[in-house]
Chains A and B, each alone.
Chain A
C-alpha cells in the first residue's frame, strides 16, 4: 500500500514539474555573443528554404555590420504564421510579413522607424529619394513601419508579357505579334491543327491556367486587367484617373475577356483540367512542353521552364507577348508603378536593440551594401574593368542562370529580396549598375530562339515590341496589390477574392449559353458582400496616399 501511495505522489509531482517546464517562458530575441556579433532573429514570409547565414556574402555582411541574421520562414501557407505569431505574442526582431503587415501594424507590433532613420539611416533616405514619403503609413499616422521590398526605380529588360507563347508557335506564324485575342486564338488553333502532338507524342494543350489556390490571381485575375483594360497591376482593383477604385471584374471589357476564356474552354483550347489541377500539376505540364501558351508571369512559371531549358527543349520555352484584347489596349506591363510600398521589412517591439537593426538595414541600402548583396564579392563573383564598371564573366553568368544552387552557395542575390534594393538598370555615381541583370547581361543570356525572335522583329531585346516605360506616367499612389490595408478592408477584400476565385472558375467552365447568367450571379454576390463599401474605403486610402506623397 505504501509503495502505491509513494508512486501516486511521484506521478503527481512529475506531472506538475512537466507542466511547469512547459509553461516556462522562452524568449526569442537578440543576443550578443562574445565576439561582438549581434544575432537578430528575422522572419521572412517569402523564403522557401533555410538560410544558414554561412555563405560568403552573409559573412561579409556580418563583418561589415556586426549583425548575423537567424532567419525563420513559413512552412506551407504563410498566412497563418503571422496570425499565430499574434496569437502567441511572440515576434522576431525584424520581420517581413508580406501581405499581412496590416495586422501587425494593427497589433502595434511594428515600431515607427522615422526617428531611427533620421538618426542612423542616411543611406535609406538616399535610396528612396523623393519617394521616401511613400513609406509613410497614412496621413493620420505618418509613421514608417516598414521599408519596401520591391525595386526602387529602374526598368525592365525581361519578363513583361501579358501572355506567353512557345517559340514553336511563334516561328510557325513567322514571328507575327498578335494584336488581338482573335489573332492570338488563331495562332494557337492553327498550330494545334498542324501539330496535335508534341515530338515525344503527348497531346498539345492550347493554354493552361493555375487556379486551385492563390495562383488564380496571377493567371486568371491579373491578365484579365492587363489584356482587357490595359490596366496596371492593382490586385483585384482598378483605379480610374480621378483615383476612384472599382473591382476589376465589374468591368464590361473584363467580362468580355472571360467570355472569350469560356469560349476557349468549351472549344477545348483552354486546358479542360485547369480548374482541378494543383500548381504542381500545372508546372509539370509546362515542363513537359505540351502547353503552347500561358497567361502568367515569369516568376510563376519559371520552375517549369527551367526544366525545359535543362532538357534542351528551347523551342518549347516561352516568349512574352504584349497581348491586348484589341489594338486600342496599351499593354502596361513596362510601366513603373512607383515604389510598391506596403510590403517590406520592419522592426518589431520585441527587438531589444533597434539601433543595431536599423544600422544593419541602412548598410544594406548603402552603395557598398547594394553591390555586396546584388553582385557578391569583388574578384570572386564580379570584376571591375578599367573604367570602374562592374561586370561578370560569362562563366559566372552561366552559373547564375543554370546552377539552381548558385544563389544559396555564393550568397549572390540570396539576401537581397525582401530587403530594399534598386531596380534594374539604376546606376551609382560611377555609372555602374547596382544590379548585375543589366541589358548587356540579359542579351548575353539569350538563347538561339530568343535571338531569332529579336532578329525577326529587328529588335535589340525582346521587350522592344512592348509599349515602353517612358510612355507611361508613374501614378501618385503605390500599387494596390502591395499596399497594406486596414483589417476592416481585408475582411471584405478576402471575401471578394474568395467569391471571385470560385465564381470566375465557374464562369469559365460554364456552358457557353450559361456564361452571362453565371457572371451576373457573381456580380450580384460581390455586391451583396460589400464590394461597393470596400471600393469606397479603397478610394479614401488612395486619396490619403496621394496626399502623403505630395
Chain B
C-alpha cells in the first residue's frame, strides 16, 4: 500500500473571521473547556506542594505560609533506597506490558477477524473482554489461586514453579501476563474495528494475485491497521510510568516486594504512608513530567519514521 500524502485537506488559516464563522461550534465547546480547566488544570495548583514541606502540622496552612524547600522533596525521592529499583521495575513492567499487550491483542484480533462463523466470533469477543470490567481485587485473588505456591497450576503440574515467589524479572512477566489476560479482549476491539474498515477490494485483489491467507494478513491487514497501532503505541508510551498501583499491591507479597514496587505505589507509601504529602506530590509531579516528555519523544519518532503523528 502506498503511503498517504500528508495534509490532503487544505487547512484554513486561523483568523478572527474564522472564529466568528464557527462561533456556535466554539460556544458548544465552552462547557468542556471549563470542565477541563476546573478538573484538569486547577488541581495542578497542588503541584506547589512538591516544592514545600507539607506534613500533618503544616497541611492546614495556606500555600504562602508553608515553608518552601525548593527541590528538597525531589532530592529525597531520588536518593531513597527504593527509588532506583522502583524506576527499573516501572520501566521494565511497562515496556514488557506494552510489548506483550500489543502483540497479543493484535494476534487475537487477527484470529477473530479470520473467523467466518459470526456467532462464535461474537461470543468469543464478548467473553474475552469481560475480564476488563472485573476489579483488580477479584482478578488478583483468581490469579493468586492459580499461580501462588501450592496453587492450582503447581498442583496440576505437580511441581513447584514459584511463579509468584521468585524475586526477579519472573514476577514482571507474571504480572504482565495476568494483565494480558484481563485486557487482551478489550484492547483487541479497537484493532478489530480498524480491520473492519479495510476495503474488501484489497483482499479480493490480493486473492486474484494468488496470495494465501497468511500473505493476505501480512500484506493487507497489518499495513492497513498500522496507523492505529502507532497511535495506540504513542498513547501507551505516554503513560509508561503510570503503572497501576492496585494491581502491583494486590499481586505482590513479601518475597517479591522488591520487584513489585512501582512509582505510583512508591508515591503512596512515601506520601500517604508517611504523612509526607510534599514528597508524595513530588514523585507524582516527576511521573507526569516524564510522561509528557516520553509522549513527545514517541510522537516525534513516529513522525520521523513517516507515520501519522498523534499531536
> Which residues of chain B are within 8 angstroms of A79 by Cβ–Cβ distance?
272-273
Does B30 lie at the interface of the complex (its beta carbon under 8 Å from any beta carbon of A)?
Answer: yes
Cα separation A350 to B37 with both chains bound (whole Å):
32
Which of A80-88, A236-244, A382-390 lies at the interface with chain B?
Answer: A80-88
> Which residues of chain A are within 8 angstroms of B148 by Cβ–Cβ distance?
273, 276-277, 281
Range, interface on chain A: 35 or more
Cα separation A400 to B187 with both chains bound (whole Å):
54
B268 to chain A, nearest CB (A): 8
Does A395 lie at the interface of the complex (its beta carbon under 8 Å from any beta carbon of B)?
Answer: no
The answer to whether A4 touches B24 (Cβ under 8 A) is yes
Does B125 lie at the interface of the complex (its beta carbon under 8 Å from any beta carbon of A)?
Answer: no
Does A108 lie at the interface of the complex (its beta carbon under 8 Å from any beta carbon of B)?
Answer: yes
With A11-B31, A79-B273, A276-B253 known to touch, is A487 a contact of B56 (CB < 8 Å)?
A: yes
Does B38 lie at the interface of the complex (its beta carbon under 8 Å from any beta carbon of A)?
Answer: yes
Q: Mark A5-33, 1 if CB is under 8 A from B, else 0.
A: 10010011001100100000000000000
Does B131 lie at the interface of the complex (its beta carbon under 8 Å from any beta carbon of A)?
Answer: no
The one of A211, A273, A495 that contacts B149, using a Cβ cutoff of 8 Å: A273
The answer to whether A15 touches B34 (Cβ under 8 A) is yes
> Which residues of chain A are within 8 angstroms of B164 by Cβ–Cβ distance?
276
Name the residue in B160, B274, B277 with the highest tally of chain A Cβ atoms < 10 Å from its Cβ.
Answer: B274
The answer to whether A107 touches B276 (Cβ under 8 A) is no
> Which residues of chain B are within 8 angstroms of A509 by Cβ–Cβ distance?
165, 255
Does A380 lie at the interface of the complex (its beta carbon under 8 Å from any beta carbon of B)?
Answer: no
With A276-B253, A277-B148 known to touch, is A87 a contact of B277 (CB < 8 Å)?
A: yes
The answer to whether A487 touches B254 (Cβ under 8 A) is no
> Which residues of chain A are within 8 angstroms of B59 by Cβ–Cβ distance?
86-87, 89, 107
Q: Mark A520-546, 1 if CB is under 8 A from B, else 0.
A: 000001001100000000000000000
User: Which residue of chain A is the closest to B250 with respect to CB atoms?
Assistant: A278
> Which residues of chain A are within 8 angstroms of B276 by Cβ–Cβ distance?
487, 491
Does A173 lie at the interface of the complex (its beta carbon under 8 Å from any beta carbon of B)?
Answer: no
Q: Mark B145-182, 1 if CB is under 8 A from A, else 0.
A: 00011100000000010001101000000000000000
Give residues of chain B (241-257) contacting chain A, Cβ–Cβ below 8 Å.
Answer: 253-255, 257
Residues of A within 8 A of B (CB): 1, 4-5, 8, 11-12, 15-16, 19, 79-80, 83-84, 86-87, 89, 100, 103-104, 106-108, 211-212, 216, 272-273, 275-278, 281, 487, 490-491, 494-495, 498-499, 501-502, 505-506, 509, 525, 528-529
| Sampled A-B contacts (5; CB under 8 Å) | A277-B148, A487-B55, A487-B57, A490-B275, A506-B167
Residues of B within 8 A of A (CB): 24, 27-28, 30-31, 34-35, 38, 55-57, 59-60, 81, 144, 148-150, 160, 164-165, 167, 253-255, 257-258, 269, 272-277
Closest 9 A/B residue pairs (Cβ): A107-B56, A103-B56, A106-B56, A106-B57, A505-B254, A273-B149, A103-B275, A275-B255, A83-B272
